[in-house]
Amino acid sequence: MSLGQHVGQKILVVGAGGIGTATVEHLVTEDARVVVAGRNVRMDGPFDDPKDELGIVLGHLTVDITDEGAVEWGVTRAAELLGGLDALVVTAGHRHELAPLHETQAGWAREIIETELIGVMSLVRHSLPFIRNAGNKGRRAGIVVVASDSAKAGSMGDAASSAARSGVLGMVKSVARENATVPLTVNAVCPGPTDTEMYRQAAEAEGMTGKVFSGMAKGIPARRLGQPEEIAATVAFLLSEGSAYITGQALSVSGGLTM
């Protein structure tokens, strides 16, 4: 049996939506050992009763990343289940309706920013001691945050999320600089419009949300939506040996939408 490029790599994946699930599937296929965490973790099929010796999901943890105590517990528990932690992947996001900033109410942005920026920073902060330890021991150590192309270009009716995602890119660059000699790589993946259940629901919604989402594909040079598997493959590459000299980057996977 041939072994995948992530054989034995111990990875915590936070966020079990379309991109998160595709990422777990890809990493498990490449023989990683994975723990999945999220506010609403629901995994199907091969994740229910894993039997493989190498590529397996070792646990599912319910974690609200806006709760600092829950994040600390979740990261520690994942490291216990895996016997250490080589890598962190964050795909978590916040579902919300779109609206121009001048039409929003006071406090509207707080929950979005607490999830997409502060929660992500909390996950990275609590994971770093474990991942730094792995890097210092010569293991392939890394962090990948799935952000959004809105971090680079902004998004109509989504100022708070665009601001949070931009903040994540700044954090990625800072943490990458702080840990480059460990060695430990820290990168962001910035998807464009991607064909997930969340995207389809948004495209069918009423008002500004439906109008913006349903028209997104028209602006993509590739003339199609991205697929979750394409984002997952990029995440997996950024945790592979072949990308060990790539750090502090924000890679768009958007069919040319952002160049």
Instruction: Compute, in degrees rounded to 10, the torsion defined by CA atoms 84, 85, 86, 90.
Output: 170
pTM of this prediction? Answer: 0.91
What mean pLDDT do residues 43-48 have? 44
When the pLDDT of each residue in the chain is averaged and rounded to a whole number, the result is: 88
Neighbours of 197 (CB within 10 A): 10
32 has a pLDDT exceeding 90: yes
Q: What is the pLDDT of residues 68-79, one digit of tens each?
A: 999 999 999 999
Q: Per 3-state DSSP, what percentage of the chain is helix, strand, and coil (rounded to 5)? A: 45, 15, 40
pLDDT at 43: 46
CA distance 142 to 251: 15
Closest CA to 240 of 125, 155, 142: 142
Region of poorest pLDDT, from 84-88, 136-140, 183-187, 225-229: 225-229
Query: What sections of 36-149 are H helices per DSSP?
Result: 68-82, 110-113, 120-136
201 has a pLDDT exceeding 90: no
48 has a pLDDT exceeding 80: no
